[in-house]
Amino acid sequence: MPATLPAWPPALTPEQQAELLLEASAYALAHGFTLLPVHPPSGPPPAPTHAIAAPLSLFPTPFPRSEYERARSLQTAYNALYARVALDQEFIDRVIGSVAKVDTFQGELWTRWKGVRAELPQPVQLGIFRSDYLLHASESSFEIKQVEFNTIAASFGALSQKAGEMHRFLAQTTGAFYGAAPELADATAYPDNHSLEELAAGLAQGWKVYGNKDAVVLVVVQEGERNVFDQRGLQYELLSKHGVRSVRYTFAELGRLAQVDPSSKHLLIPNPLTPNAPPSEIAVVYYRAAYTPTDYTSSKEWDTRVLLERSLAIKCPTMALQLAGAKKVQQELALPGVLEDFLLGSSRPDVGLGAGAGSLTQEDVDAVRATWTGLWPMDDSEEGLEAQRLAETHPERFVLKPQREGGGNNIYRTDIPPYLAKLAAEPSNPGDPPKREGYILMELIEPPQGVHNWLVRGGEGKPRLADVVSELGVYGVSLFGGKDAKSIVNRSAGTLLRTKGRESDEGGVAIGISSIDSPLLVN
């Protein structure tokens, strides 16, 4: 764990920077490292008839090699942890049941799942995960600390692989000035990253376990999605490398088209363009939507979600696995003994680590726990009361997190006390718990200071030099829950680096705050 990172980025003349920008932008457009352009709120969503380069960095960003490898090595233990959480109905009921009283979205998801879980015909679950980390800087070293664990719609696997390939290309073609820093001349500093291939292979493994070579993968997408090329990259890889066809539909479209055969429980979707052809049987439902309340504009979308859940198709994720990714679960796992029970408990099911839990040790548990920063509930327990005291007296040390995915939902530092006061002032029904119980308090991670890079906002073609913070995501694939050993998969599946200006607490590639980057490994 190095105590310092190299001075960054290398100096460029204006002519060198213009050449580097030209090469990066051309490479991005030529290789599908792209997004749809922003569309006006009043206009229709753009069709994929033209594109802009995705937000990118002109240089890869230095990252400690030891911490990069440590993050990757932990992924199978994290996969096992969240697979076992998803299989533990009693734990989910206890943890989410408390949140459900004050969080209507989590409450609806949990209630709907409880209503159908006894009759679900498909025991196999597929997880495409991403564990996100920031580097935490202490006086003498850097170490990874986990931000969150994503169990639904873990995006940018395709674009992440392309970002690393772009930086390798730039090093090869602009070497006269791109090699101005010795770190850039080290071929081993550019890690192999096959996230596109690995994630597509995970979907193909789910399709294979389903067992019908004529079935297809369903990608559930949001209306007006700009990140279509990342999604379609996986679809193209599925077809070209695995011979697996896929279809794309929104919730609204599925509400009109999706059918479940009452006897076989097959999920069937007719193609409205070929009404006389047999409907497609779905092997895997892959959600790139359904993680935010805005995806459920009415009860119809919830009914559609339940319809898909009750089918024989393998879900990625199931409603249970989506619930397992809640921030409240992250906080509960940090309590003494809970992590140990999930990873070392003798009664826990095999999820790809050998017979039972025999291949995990206390050393593995300690390694996972070492990636966590302070986590507290916001209830009336002893820990919760301490959290409230800390949030009021030292808010600059913390972030307040709701049970949401997708970014843009957290409350930071000195905004926390007035926000808690606002929650307390909101009307509630007699007997309801305080609304703060829908949140957790997390100790802030302090990234290294003084790292800069040239960031290019998508479509602008104008780099800006920023003091940056980089977040490393490690993908994982987990197939579990079946009785057949062939239906068990647990592996790491590549990485993602997102880099943003330090001035922004929140991320977001599509909205232009973060750039898709790649790590330059330094010793």
Is 510 annotated as a binding-site member?
Answer: yes
Is 523 annotated as a binding-site member?
Answer: no
Is 442 annotated as a binding-site member?
Answer: yes
CA distance 457 to 462: 7
Distances (CA, A) of 206 to 34, 220, 309, 323, 370: 27, 16, 15, 20, 32
Is 148 annotated as a binding-site member?
Answer: yes
Question: Which residue among the candidates 345, 374, 406, 508 is catalytic per the annotation?
Answer: 406
Question: Which residue among the candidates 150, 160, 487, 490 is catalytic per the annotation?
Answer: 150
Question: Which residue among the candidates 67, 148, 237, 301 is catalytic per the annotation?
Answer: 148
Is 226 annotated as a binding-site member?
Answer: yes
Is 476 annotated as a binding-site member?
Answer: no
Is 466 annotated as a binding-site member?
Answer: no
DSSP letter, residue 82: H
Residue among 208, 204, 205, 169 nearest 190 (CA): 169
Question: Which residue among the candidates 281, 498, 507, 515 is catalytic per the annotation?
Answer: 498
Q: Is 389 a known active-site residue?
A: no
Is 77 annotated as a binding-site member?
Answer: no
DSSP letter, residue 358: T
Q: Is 422 a known active-site residue?
A: no
Q: Is 23 a known active-site residue?
A: no
Question: Which residue among the candidates 25, 79, 131, 155 is catalytic per the annotation?
Answer: 155
Is 401 annotated as a binding-site member?
Answer: yes
Q: Which residues of 415-435 are buried (b: 16+ CB within 10 A; e: fewer)?
A: ebeebbeebeeeeeeeeeebb
Is 464 annotated as a binding-site member?
Answer: no
Q: At what angle do helices 228-242 and 157-173 cross, to 10 degrees?
A: 90
Distances (CA, A) of 139 to 3, 62, 326, 394: 8, 19, 32, 21
CA distance 239 to 246: 8
Question: Which residue among the candidates 65, 70, 84, 130 is catalytic per the annotation?
Answer: 130
Distances (CA, A) of 16 to 20, 170, 176, 177, 455: 6, 12, 10, 7, 15
Is 155 annotated as a binding-site member?
Answer: yes
Q: Is 327 a known active-site residue?
A: yes
Is 288 annotated as a binding-site member?
Answer: yes
Question: Which residue among the candidates 65, 70, 162, 327 is catalytic per the annotation?
Answer: 327
Is 289 annotated as a binding-site member?
Answer: yes
Q: Is 70 a known active-site residue?
A: no
Q: Is 401 a known active-site residue?
A: yes
Angle at 509 between CA 503 and CA 510, to 5 degrees: 125
Question: Which residue among the candidates 198, 281, 405, 437 is catalytic per the annotation?
Answer: 405
Residue among 142, 30, 35 nearest 515 (CA): 35
Q: Is 498 a known active-site residue?
A: yes
Is 443 annotated as a binding-site member?
Answer: yes
Strand spans (E) along 317-451: 375-377, 398-402, 411-412, 439-443
Is 162 annotated as a binding-site member?
Answer: no
Question: Which residue among the candidates 65, 401, 435, 457 is catalytic per the annotation?
Answer: 401
Summarize the annotated binding site for Mg(2+) as residue ranges.
148, 150, 405
Summarize the annotated binding site as residue ranges.
130, 148, 150, 152-155, 225-227, 231, 288-291, 327, 401-410, 412, 442-445, 471, 498, 500, 506, 509-510
Summarize the annotated binding site for substrate as residue ranges.
130, 152-155, 225-227, 231, 288-291, 498, 509-510
Summarize the annotated binding site for ATP as residue ranges.
148, 327, 401-410, 412, 442-445, 471, 500, 506
Residues involved in catalysis = 130, 148, 150, 155, 327, 401, 405-406, 498
